[in-house]
């Protein structure tokens, strides 16, 4: 099912169930939503106790009235299934729905997002209410999309989940002998005789079998996806054919979002960057990369389901968003291919844990607040640029981001237990591409990589079956490949490859990685360009954390180490293979290295951005396309106004002023046929 909208969504999570005794407030909400240019709200996310106050007794009238009133005002509803938080009666009557933690303790009622995904009772009860909601609201013209649950996450170790895990393992391995082999269980005499003996990882039990840890994480993703599937199935049984989404979270480590996204028609995510913790530009790159990841999950438009209109209540410091940052954040979601920018929340609660979380309408309740004014401006601009809805982003560059590989890499002991700095490594590549105005996708090992010109594999620890062959083909056919240290080390079950690494790509890269040196925090080495290096690099760069030593097997050394016993060994190499090129970056170089290196390499290989000319620091340029039209979105995340490089040919200005310099946090949107 496609999610198609003519408008860019603007609005937020709305919790009228907290205000049912205040019709005056509900009336005010409607007025203010309209005034803030909101066209969509998410309803019913945590309403189960009001929707079904007793088992089998349903009260939907209040919700219906609100959906009707919103619709009359032109405001659409994204309707949630309420499984994110269960009512007390359900937990009391059916304790099996309560999650068991890894130390095997059954939780008491409380909090949210803490149910067992396996429990037949929880599946049945969510199924019933989802069906009823779908029967009642599934054809309402005001309802445009299902919001399935809320922020799926976590794991349950109850007996039901253990049983399901064992069946999943049986299905995966067939025999216990095969499992023992794949998990290398003879290590420390951990051999299993039957599947029934297997227990999920626990701090009071097994944590040292990496294959077990990895499979448990896979199972948790599988079981969560299965739960989503059953939620969606019940909505369909209720007669609704509306598309579905689930709100994902940042670079969430515990669920493989590429797998989860298969269950959704459109990806949405909750974005809470810590603006003003470091330079705004750095936060913008990190947030931009996450938008690109979310878009890449399905290779389709996504949207920002939640963001905070000002400060959150849960970050270590509740920093106010400086004037202009809310606008800039919302527009960044659109620039990167989003179909909307929504908030948590419409109205601030009076009590309980989120009473100090930012909202469009705060406790004061008026429209004469700094935050409300900025939300309203955002609403006006989203309307002005609404023709961007439905346009897509295409990228020439891709960076590998694979959940399973990360899980395995983070679980391993060595080569640097103090921190591998994987996220920073990704960001260094990302910044290097983005600073040249290139759109970037993030892909996992199952994605199609052939369509890209450049593929970067930073710390691709695990090479799943078939991946090396795919990458080889990519280079053979003319792709530009960049692989770094700590790549191609282990297989799908986290067994180390024998016979040399990066596994399957040694001939493509023309090197073999022989040893890897971990550096203490205070240590550094340097990367010195060879006199006749292919890219004309001139500077020496610092490298830290990890230095890989390679044996040259046909590759050309482009840079070498500056010190230690491996002084003079290759630190960066290049190799021609088929019609393409394969580069190896052996050490964790400083950010400036990646920027200069990628800039020269892209020039050398004629990978050009949509806009020619120097891109000033702080300027983000992204392009979206629709029906033969290209949209150029410029945003200034720097500290001073900048001049923007406009594309050649006839252009139309959709938003902003190209005669003047672009002020900080402002935006320009251009259109070119």
Please identify every residue annotated as catalytic.
151, 306
Residue ranges in 116-175 that form contacts with ligand GLA under rule CB under 6 A: 150-151
Cis geometry, peptide bond prior to residue 176 (ω within 30 degrees of 0): no
Q: Of the candidates 41, 43, 98, 158, which one interacts with Zn ion according to CB under 5 A?
A: 158
156 binds, among Zn ion, ligand GLA, none (CB under 5 to 8 A by kind): Zn ion
116 binds, among Zn ion, ligand GLA, none (CB under 5 to 8 A by kind): Zn ion
Give dist(CA 311, CA 317) in Å, integer: 9
Q: Does 245 bind ligand GLA (CB under 6 A)?
A: no
Whichever of 101 and 625 has its CB closer to Zn ion, that residue is: 101
- H-helix or E-strand spanning residue 621: strand 619-626
Q: Does 494 bind ligand GLA (CB under 6 A)?
A: no
Contacts of range 22-28, beta carbons closer than 8 Å, 24 or more positions apart: 25/347, 25/365, 26/66, 28/361, 28/365
Q: Which among 274, 356, 363 is positioned nearest to 317, based on CA atoms? A: 274
Strand partners, 605: none
Whichever of 87 and 460 has its CB closer to ligand GLA, that residue is: 87
Q: Does 116 bind Zn ion (CB under 5 A)?
A: yes
Phi, psi values for residue 14, rounded to 5°: -125, 130
Q: Which among 400, 476, 434, 486 is positioned nearest to 602, based on CA atoms? A: 434
Q: According to DSSP H, which parts of 412-461 are helical?
A: 422-434
Q: What is the sign, positive or negative, of the torsion defined by CA atoms of 115, 119, 125, 130?
A: positive
Looking at residue 180, what DSSP letter applies?
H
Q: What is the sign, positive or negative, of the torsion defined by CA atoms of 289, 295, 301, 304?
A: negative
Q: Of the candidates 144, 156, 214, 611, which one interacts with Zn ion according to CB under 5 A?
A: 156
Q: Does 357 bind ligand GLA (CB under 6 A)?
A: yes
Q: What is the sign, positive or negative, of the torsion defined by CA atoms of 456, 460, 462, 468?
A: positive
Q: Does 118 bind Zn ion (CB under 5 A)?
A: yes
In whole angstroms, the minimum distance from the beta carbon of 119 to ligand GLA comes to 22
Q: Does 161 bind Zn ion (CB under 5 A)?
A: yes
In whole angstroms, the minimum distance from the beta carbon of 40 to ligand GLA comes to 16
Whichever of 292 and 306 has its CB closer to ligand GLA, that residue is: 306
Whichever of 283 and 312 has its CB closer to ligand GLA, that residue is: 312
Whole-Å CA distances, 673 to 256, 639, 649: 38, 32, 9
In whole angstroms, the minimum distance from the beta carbon of 102 to Zn ion comes to 12
Residue ranges in 247-276 that form contacts with ligand GLA under rule CB under 6 A: 270, 272
Q: What residue number has its CB nearest to ligand GLA?
A: 270
In whole angstroms, the minimum distance from the beta carbon of 129 to ligand GLA comes to 19
Residue 628 neighbours by CB distance under 10 Å: 7
Q: Does 312 bind ligand GLA (CB under 6 A)?
A: yes
Q: What SS3 state is found at 434?
A: helix
In whole angstroms, the minimum distance from the beta carbon of 111 to Zn ion comes to 16
Residue 462 tokens, joined:
């695990």
Q: Of the candidates 60, 146, 222, 344, which one interacts with ligand GLA according to CB under 6 A?
A: 344
Give dist(CA 38, CA 326) in Å, integer: 15
Size of the residue set binding ligand GLA (CB under 6 A): 11
Phi, psi values for residue 64, rounded to 5°: -60, -45
226 binds, among ligand GLA, Zn ion, none (CB under 5 to 8 A by kind): none
Q: Do 224 and 260 meet the contact criterion of CB atoms below 8 Å apart?
A: yes
In whole angstroms, the minimum distance from the beta carbon of 363 to ligand GLA comes to 16
Whole-Å CA distances, 119 to 4, 112, 244: 34, 16, 23
Return the range that interacts with ligand GLA (CB under 6 A); candidates 305-313, 329-337, 408-416, 479-487: 305-313
150 binds, among Zn ion, ligand GLA, none (CB under 5 to 8 A by kind): ligand GLA
286 binds, among ligand GLA, Zn ion, none (CB under 5 to 8 A by kind): none
Whichever of 119 and 345 has its CB closer to Zn ion, that residue is: 119
Which residues sit at the interface with Zn ion, rule CB under 5 A?
A: 116, 118, 156, 158, 160-161
The binding site for ligand GLA (CB under 6 A) comprises 150-151, 270, 272, 306, 308, 312, 314, 344, 354, 357
């Amino acid at each position: 099912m496609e999610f198609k909208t003519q408008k860019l969504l603007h609005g937020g999570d709305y919790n009228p169930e907290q205000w049912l005794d205040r019709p005056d407030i509900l009336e005010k909400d409607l007025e203010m939503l309209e005034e803030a240019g909101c066209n969509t709200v998410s309803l019913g996310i945590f309403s189960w106790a009001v929707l079904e106050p007793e088992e089998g007794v349903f009260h939907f009238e209040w919700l219906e009235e609100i959906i009707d009133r919103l619709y009359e005002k032109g405001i659409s509803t994204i309707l949630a299934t309420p499984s994110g938080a269960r009512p007390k009666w359900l937990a009391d009557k059916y304790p099996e729905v309560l999650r068991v933690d890894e130390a095997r303790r059954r939780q008491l009622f409380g909090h949210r997002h803490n149910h067992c995904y396996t429990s037949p009772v929880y599946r049945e009860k969510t199924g019933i209410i989802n069906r009823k909601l779908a029967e009642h609201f599934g054809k309402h013209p005001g309802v445009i999309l299902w919001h399935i649950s809320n922020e799926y996450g976590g794991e349950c170790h109850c007996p039901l989940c253990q049983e399901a895990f064992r069946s999943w393992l049986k299905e995966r391995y067939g025999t216990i002998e095969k499992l023992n082999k794949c998990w290398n269980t003879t290590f420390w005499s951990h051999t299993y005789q039957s599947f029934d003996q297997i227990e999920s990882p626990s701090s009071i039990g097994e944590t040292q079998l990496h294959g077990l840890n990895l499979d448990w994480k896979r199972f948790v993703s599988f079981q969560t996806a299965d739960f989503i599937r059953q939620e969606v199935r019940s909505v369909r049984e209720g007669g609704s054919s509306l598309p579905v989404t689930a709100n994902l979270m940042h670079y969430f480590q515990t669920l493989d979002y590429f797998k989860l996204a298969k269950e959704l028609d459109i990806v949405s995510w909750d974005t809470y960057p810590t603006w003003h913790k470091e330079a705004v530009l750095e936060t913008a790159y990190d947030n931009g990369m996450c938008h690109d990841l979310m878009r890449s999950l399905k290779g389709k438009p996504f949207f920002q389901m939640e963001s905070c209109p000002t400060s959150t209540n849960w970050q270590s410091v509740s920093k106010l968003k400086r004037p202009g940052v809310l606008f800039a954040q919302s527009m960044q979601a659109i620039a990167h291919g989003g179909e909307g920018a929504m908030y948590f929340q419409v109205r601030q609660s009076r009590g309980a844990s989120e009473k100090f979380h930012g909202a469009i309408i705060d406790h004061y309740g008026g429209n004469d607040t700094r935050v409300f004014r900025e939300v309203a401006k955002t609403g006006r601009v989203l309307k002005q640029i609404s023709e961007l809805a439905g346009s897509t982003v295409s990228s020439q560059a891709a960076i590998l981001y694979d959940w399973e590989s990360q899980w395995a890499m983070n679980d391993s002991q060595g080569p640097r237990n103090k921190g591998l700095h994987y996220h920073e490594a990704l960001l260094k590549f990302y910044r290097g591409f983005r600073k040249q105005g290139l759109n970037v996708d993030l892909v996992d090992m199952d994605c199609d990589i052939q369509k890209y010109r450049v593929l970067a594999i930073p710390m691709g620890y695990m090479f799943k079956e078939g991946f090396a062959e795919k990458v080889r083909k990519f280079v053979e056919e003319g792709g530009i490949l960049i692989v770094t240290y700590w790549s191609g080390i282990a297989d799908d079950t986290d067994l180390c490859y024998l016979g040399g690494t990066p596994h399957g790509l040694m001939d493509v890269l023309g090197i073999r990685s022989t040893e890897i040196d971990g550096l203490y925090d205070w240590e550094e080495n340097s990367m010195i360009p060879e006199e006749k290096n292919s890219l004309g690099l001139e500077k020496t760069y610092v490298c830290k954390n990890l230095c890989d030593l390679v044996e040259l097997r046909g590759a050309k050394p482009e840079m070498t180490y500056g010190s230690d016993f491996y002084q003079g060994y290759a630190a960066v190499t290049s190799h021609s293979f088929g019609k393409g090129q394969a580069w190896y970056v052996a050490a964790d170089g400083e950010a400036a290295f990646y920027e200069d290196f990628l800039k020269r390499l892209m020039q050398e290989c004629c990978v050009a951005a949509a806009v020619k000319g120097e891109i000033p620091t702080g300027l983000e340029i992204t392009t979206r396309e629709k029906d033969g039209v290209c949209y150029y979105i410029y945003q200034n995340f720097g500290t001073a106004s900048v001049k923007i490089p406009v594309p050649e040919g006839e252009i139309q200005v959709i938003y902003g002023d190209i005669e003047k310099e672009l002020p900080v946090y402002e935006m320009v949107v251009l259109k070119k046929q």
